[in-house]
Amino acid sequence: MVSARNLLLLSSSRLHGHGYLEHARGQLEDLFKSANVKTVLFVPYALRDHDKYTATVRDALQPWGFNVEGLHTKPDREQALREAQAIFVGGGNTFVLLRSLYEMKLLDPIRELVLQRGLPYVGSSAGTNVATRSIHTTNDMPVAYPPSFEALALVPFNINPHYLDPEAGSRHKGETRDERLEEFVAYHGLPVLGLREGTSVRVQGEKAILLGDRNAKLFKADGGTEELAPQADLTFLLQK
């Protein structure tokens, strides 16, 4: 019952020239206020210091009128998720985050609550990666090994956060981001949305739109690419 889906998938929490989450303030307020959210349950497992990470998010959201609680402080994490008004899965290392979600057996409860019951979900960077089909298209080093790369599959495509265009005239001879993403598409036949910093995907039920003031780059399942402008309708990517 994906019609209950209510997601905001951010490329990043930080953007040059802005404070933490400041560039996404309007998007976050729109989501939280529309769902009457007063308290956000933060999932801090992508970084090592969970208390410090939760405090960083609290310092950003509290002045805007939203309380923040850390999932790591809850004795019964699954019950805390079921009682949550909204969850925010923060960025960091995607492999560490996904391994933690597997170890704590939280993937199925989150998936059910978001897809079946409409629990608002905010992801940033790694938190956006785990919202997709798999974490194959993260930029992170595999410092931890989750049981699988398969993730929450709240959307049926993959995202590459912090997407960077190839540098024109570069003398670097290693693979570009484009080449790595094209390789994934060639092996898996799944589309990947390259989200430049400052952009995000807003999903409401069976509709999706690109937010922010920059284009996103779509790596199509057939191997082609397409630039998508701000406010582009991304609903076609939700079709399995």
pLDDT in tens, 152-164: 999 999 999 999 8
Task: Supply the pLDDT for residue 134.
Answer: 98
Q: Which of these is catalytic: 11, 100, 124, 125?
A: 125
Task: Supply the pLDDT for residue 210.
Answer: 98
Residue 5 to residue 110: CA distance in whole angstroms: 12
Task: Supply the pLDDT for residue 173.
Answer: 63
Q: Which fold has domain 6-238?
A: Rossmann fold (3.40.50)
Residue 140 to residue 155: CA distance in whole angstroms: 20
Strand partners, 43: 89
Task: Supply the pLDDT for residue 165.
Answer: 83
- 134 catalytically annotated: no
Copy the structure tokens of residue 102. Answer: 């597997």
- 72 catalytically annotated: no
- In the chain, the amino acid numbered 8 is L
Average pLDDT over residues 111-137: 97
Average pLDDT over residues 42-62: 98
Q: Which of these is catalytic: 72, 162, 178, 188?
A: 162
Length of the chain: 240
The SS3 of residue 127 is helix
pTM score, whole prediction: 0.95
- pLDDT higher at 1 or 117: 117
Task: Supply the pLDDT for residue 174.
Answer: 66
- 108 catalytically annotated: no
Q: Is the dihedral of CA 138, 127, 213, 21 positive or negative?
A: negative
